[in-house]
Structure 1
Amino acid sequence: MKKINLLIAIVALSSATFPLAGCKSADISKSSQVLARVGDKEITSVYFERQLSELPESVRELSSHGEGKKAVLEGLVNRELLYEKAVKKHLDNDTDVLRKLEDLKKELIIKTLLQNELSGKVAVDDREVENFYNSHPDEFQRREEVRISQIVVPDQAKANEMMEKLSIKREFGELAAANSIDQPTAERNGDVGWFTRGKLPAELRDTIFKLGTGEVSQPIKMGNAYEIYKVTDRRSTSYEFAKVKDVIRAQLVEEKTQKELQKLVEGLKKETTVQLNEQMLR
């Protein structure tokens, strides 16, 4: 969430300390609830703990004691100071801000609805995880992977040019670096990395896995571009159940979540009239 990222950024600004007890307001040093006061705003221990719980786990561990905990408190103070400044400039009534707040409110409400509706429906037990592992030997016990490079060009003519140059033994990586319109892979001489069959787009799987190491595909039209692939390496790997069980569990939870979400949405569509203006969309 953007809120969390903002708090982390403000915490990072909190290297300098300042005397909170020096406020003209009532002294908070004897309070059992108030950790800080910024103007009229009090930062209580309950509020602090809630904000701490929303940080990513890695950050939360560093912020749960000592200087890390103090940095979070100072970050919250900084945030209140910045918020007060923004309100004085009437940014809380800015049209764009209000629109984004409405969108965020909608997302949070939907998230809460899904938590309530799907709770208990997407549990995955250990037997399911182990059965999935045993029933997918090609994915975990005899996992075939290929390393591929690509050249992506805008049209058939450019693709034909690349094939002609490859036919006279021009280096694939050199051509990718000089001609590919996919900038990230062009910078790596076309290297895309390692893929299992299942991780490749369906329209590429058979073509790429039929290639031997060092072989190059014919140009394949993908969207508005043409792509040429080369298999640069192959390997077969196996993963022990203990090393992949958490990954499998997460995958099964995601699959069940998507199925339940689809059922929920389809049920709602039966209760509500939904119209799409496809002509206008085109």
Structure 2
Amino acid sequence: MNKHKTILIISSFFAVIPCFTQNPGFPVKTVIQFLLVVLILSGCSKSDIAKSSQVLAKVDDKEITTSYFERQIKNLPESVQRLSLEGEGKRAILEGMINREILYKEAVKRGINKDAEIKRRLEDMEKELVISTFIQREFGSRLMVEDKEVQDYYNTHINEFKNREEIRISQIIVSEEKDAGDILGKLKEGKDFGALAAEYSVDKPTAVRKGDVGYFTYKMLPAEIRDIVFGMRTGEISGPYKMPDGYEIYKITDRRTVSYSFEQVKNAVKLQLIDQKIQDSLKALLDDLKKDMKIQINESLLK
């Protein structure tokens, strides 16, 4: 890759990222929230604070410090980080950051930051970050999982990892039932599932993969759909199903039987055990906190 392409890729990558997309929507899984906060807290060292007085660039009165610059590089995908080490790579990243500040200042000038939807999303993000930080501080030191615990779990649940039947799922998620019906109509006409997922699915991380979600065991699927979906044949399409994220349409693209060694699943099992500890600790805490709170639910509005 030549120097000009490197500059273009990195600069464009940085110029178009809104400040809040580095934490897109905040994860649903509590364990991911916990790990996110650990990463955030561990990323602020004394050396960062010391370097913060060194101004690398300014856009009007906005300073871009060396510590901020280095943190932004660390937030980039590894492939782009490697590009930043090539020739003019760092300058390209800085130019991208300058462009982002220019765009931000113009957006603020036009009052975009006062938009009600922006404020709502920021409030939601703040709440999630506060909760995540609370969880980390409350349980962080008590929720470590030792390697022996992981090995013991693998040994006592060996049947979960040997000759395991899995299905590969692609999905299309839309917000409205009518849209789901329209997409089913297109599928019946012979339209490509992946192309429709890329065009219409509101779940962008899977949309860019043409709907591919990966492999799942029976137990990994939501209880309300696992019997139907796991019983589908390869190539079969089913749905729509009303789920928390919207109306979902599924296609089974592969079915396999596979065995996993301890090394292959060690990290996944560790996360699973951490997640379980978090859930157990949170339940105990919530049960205790609820004793001192008055909670009222209008059941008629839930029907």
Instruction: Normalising by structure 1, report the TM-score.
Output: 0.59
Map of 1:28-67 to 2, 5 A cutoff? Answer: 33-57=54-78, 59-63=80-84, 66-67=87-88
Is the contact made by 1:145 and 1:234 (CA closer than 8 Å) also made in structure 2? yes
Larger radius of gyration: 1
Contact 1:36-1:42 at 8 Å conserved across structures: yes
Name 1:100's counterpart in structure 2: 121
* Percent identity of paired positions between Structure 1 and Structure 2: 47
**Offset of 1:47 from its aligned partner?**
2.1
Matched, 1:242 2:242: no
Shift of residue 128 of structure 1? 0.9
Kindly provide the amino acid, as one letter, of the partner of residue 91 in structure 2. Answer: K
Distance change >3 Å, CA 111–CA 196, structure 1 → 2: closer
| Alignment correspondent of 1:126 | 147
Alignment counterpart, residue 78 of structure 1, candidates 78, 99, 102: 99
Alignment of 1:11 with 2:14, yes or no, is yes
2:111 aligned residue? 90
Judge conservation of contact 1:148–1:233 (CA < 8 Å) in 2.
yes
1:246/1:39 CA distance change after superposition, 3 Å: same
SS at match of 2:145: coil
TM superposition score normalised by structure 2: 0.56
CA contact (8 A) 1:138 1:144 kept: no
Q: Secondary structure at the match of 1:199?
A: coil
Equivalent position SS for 1:276: coil
Q: 1:279 to 1:125 in 2, by over 3 A?
A: same
CA shift, 1:281, in A, is 2.7
Change (3 A) 1:184 1:253: farther
Provide, for residues 175-197 of structure 1, a one-character-per-residue CA deviation record: whole Å limited to 9, x for no partner: xx6499xx949x8xxxx986533
* Distance of 1:241 and 1:256 partners within structure 2: 21
Q: Structure 1 residues 133, 90: closer, same or farther in 2, change over 3 A?
A: same
CA distance, structure 2, for counterparts of residue 274 and residue 78 of structure 1? 48
1:61 shift after superposition = 4.8
Higher RCO, 1 vs 2 (CA within 8 Å, ≥6 residues apart):
2
| Equivalence map 1:129-278=2 (5 Å) | 129-145=150-166, 178=188, 184=193, 195-202=216-223, 236-278=257-299
Indicate if the aligned counterparts of 2:145 and 2:270 stay in contact, CA closer than 8 A: yes
- CA–CA separation in structure 2 for the residues paired with 1:148 and 1:109: 34
Deviation at 1:112, TM superposition (A): 1.6
Q: Structure 1, unaligned stretches of length 5 or more?
A: 1-6, 15-31, 150-176, 225-230
